[in-house]
């Protein structure tokens, strides 16, 4: 397998041998397509080489335009998208994947993820396995999967997920799930790595002291903590200065005491949706978006 080279940043090697940049750019909640396109172009100009989108974000077209207009060769980028719940099942997943490729104006994806573990996700996974074997996807993974769902997937599949993308930040660290991922050679990828700008987190006094020591922001300290934990992260911003700030985390290193101080902030309480919540599951199964 020919390795991609991502200049100036560390990579993490997935369980199938594919390298992924350790720091990428997420576009969740960027609804305005022009704003999204401009933000992705700015991110690529800054040095980001991994872009994470999803069909349900309704901005794949903007991401595709940004890729085309960025001035960077496609082969130098790592592009991820995700399959929404309404498209679970083998045939639906195949069709949805092609729609995603068309919107992104690409002929392959670097990574494709199942967004939530509901409905016929096993049929969808079979479709992803076939697309992976055909070379249309370089790596396949999941989002929001619990240990139980990962076990169910493992028992009914031939390809192990490379990544499990989950809510993870200093306030909610999902340590048991991280251990399971690690033991099964699955990379944990935090979504909302900064806790969606949670004020309590970003104003934490111990994190402020660490940030002052390195002449960094609290957000940069948190992102650095994620990287040193071995995670692959996808912070989001539409502000050019923040996009640059979030990428400027490779020039310092936290001590083990500082890592432990950040680990100690875990409350075990989610800020977002619980995959085990039956009401949330039913809501997702009934959701239909124009994608």
Tell me the CA distances in angstroms from 248 to 41, 57, 217, 220, 254, one per residue in order: 17, 26, 10, 7, 14
As a whole number of angstroms, the distance between CA 32 and CA 189 comes to: 25
Is 180 considered catalytic here? Answer: no
Treating both helix axes as pointing N-terminal to C-terminal, what angle do 33-46 and 240-247 enclose, rounded to 10 degrees? 40
Residue 106 contacts residue 74 (beta carbons within 8 Å) = yes
Tell me the CA distances in angstroms from 100 to 1, 64, 93, 109, one per residue in order: 25, 10, 10, 9
Choose, from 48, 57, 118, 132, the residue flagged as catalytic: 57
Pairing mode, strands 19-21 and 11-13: antiparallel
Count of Cβ atoms closer than 10 Å to residue 199 Cβ = 8
Q: Is 115 annotated as a binding residue?
A: yes
Annotated binding site for substrate: 115
Binding-site annotation: residue ranges: 115
Active site residues: 57
């Amino acid at each position: 397998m020919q390795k991609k080279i991502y200049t100036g940043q560390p990579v993490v090697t997935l369980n199938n041998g594919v390298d992924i940049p350790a720091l990428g750019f997420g576009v969740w909640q960027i609804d305005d397509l022009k704003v999204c396109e401009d933000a992705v172009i700015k991110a690529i100009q800054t040095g980001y080489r991994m872009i994470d989108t999803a069909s349900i974000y309704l901005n794949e077209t903007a991401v595709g335009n940004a890729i085309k207009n960025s001035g960077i060769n496609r082969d130098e980028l790592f592009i991820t998208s995700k399959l929404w719940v309404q498209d679970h099942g083998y045939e639906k997943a195949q069709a949805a994947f092609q729609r995603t490729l068309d919107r992104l104006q690409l002929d392959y994806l670097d990574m494709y993820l199942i967004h939530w573990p509901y409905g016929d996700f096993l049929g969808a996974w079979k479709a992803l396995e076939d697309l992976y074997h055909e070379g249309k996807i370089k790596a396949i993974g999941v989002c929001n999967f619990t240990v139980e769902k990962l076990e169910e997937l493992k028992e009914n599949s031939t390809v192990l997920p490379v990544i499990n993308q989950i809510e993870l930040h200093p306030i909610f660290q999902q340590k048991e799930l991280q251990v399971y991922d690690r033991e099964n050679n699955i990379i944990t990828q935090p979504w909302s790595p900064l806790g969606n700008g949670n004020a309590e987190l970003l104003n934490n006094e111990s994190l402020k002291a660490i940030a002052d020591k390195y002449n960094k922001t609290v957000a940069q300290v948190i992102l650095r903590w994620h990287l040193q934990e071995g995670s692959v992260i996808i912070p989001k911003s539409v502000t050019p200065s923040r996009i640059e700030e979030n990428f400027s985390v490779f020039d310092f290193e936290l001590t083990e005491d500082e890592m432990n101080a950040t680990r100690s902030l875990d409350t075990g309480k989610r800020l977002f949706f619980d995959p085990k919540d039956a009401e949330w599951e039913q809501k997702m199964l009934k959701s239909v978006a124009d994608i």
